[in-house]
Every structure is written in C-alpha cells, then in structure tokens.
Amino acid sequence: MTTTPQTLRAELQTALTSHSMLEIDGLHAFEFSLDEMLQIESMDGRERKVWRFSLAQIDSAQFDDALQSWVINDGNADHRIVVLNAFAASDEDEDEEEEQG
C-alpha cells in the first residue's frame, strides 16, 4: 500500500537528500534544485529542456492518486512530476552474518 505524500515540496526536499531522480512529462531528470524555485533539467534527445516553478506553484501542485504523480502548472500548461525514490544498499545482512559466524 502506498501512502499519499503530504506536499510536493516535502517530497522534493526528501528526494534531494536521498539523491532520488525525477521524471517530468515522461523524461528522466537527473538534475534538479530547490531553493527560491524548483529548476529541473533533462535531455530530450539532443535538446536540453529546463522547467522552472515558483514555490507558490509547487505548493499548489496536486497529487494524482491514480497515476501516483504530481500535477503542477507553470502558468502555461500542466506538467506531471514523478519522484523516483533512490534505493541504497544495506549492509545489515553482512553485520548479522558476522555476529552469527
């Protein structure tokens, strides 16, 4: 069961600390920053694409439960953002084996 995130801003802040990746409008975005605004960069073939969203636009984003994504409007059009959570390797199994061995 998945839980609905509280806000896009909170999910983005978590994504930054966990080195997660975003998908925007179907494109994987490895570079994004969040400070005075959200800036996302991606490559579409050879074309560099950049999206910028104000904090107010981020706070107005709505979570689409059916598609598990955020819908955000930049003033011109709606965009769909998916936060792809990064997975970190755990060494818990190795610690348990050492203790048992």
User: Domain for residue 86, yes or no?
Assistant: yes
* Mean pLDDT along residues 12-16: 91
What is the span of the domain harbouring residue 88? 8-100
Q: Are 68 and 2 in contact (CB under 8 A)?
A: yes
Q: Which residue has the higher pLDDT, 79 or 1?
A: 79
User: Domain for residue 20, yes or no?
Assistant: yes
- Cα distances from 92 to residues 66, 76, 82, 89, in angstroms, run 34, 48, 29, 9
Q: Are strands 37-44 and 47-54 parallel, antiparallel or unpaired?
A: antiparallel
* Mean pLDDT along residues 21-38: 94
Q: What is the pLDDT of residue 52?
A: 97
pLDDT over 60 (residue 91):
no
User: Domain for residue 28, yes or no?
Assistant: yes
User: Domain for residue 94, yes or no?
Assistant: yes
User: Domain for residue 57, yes or no?
Assistant: yes
* CATH assignment of the domain containing 31: 2.30.29.190
pLDDT over 90 (residue 1):
no
User: Domain for residue 89, yes or no?
Assistant: yes
Domain count of the chain? 1
User: Domain for residue 2, yes or no?
Assistant: no
Q: Are 53 and 35 in contact (CB under 8 A)?
A: no
User: Domain for residue 3, yes or no?
Assistant: no
pTM: 0.78
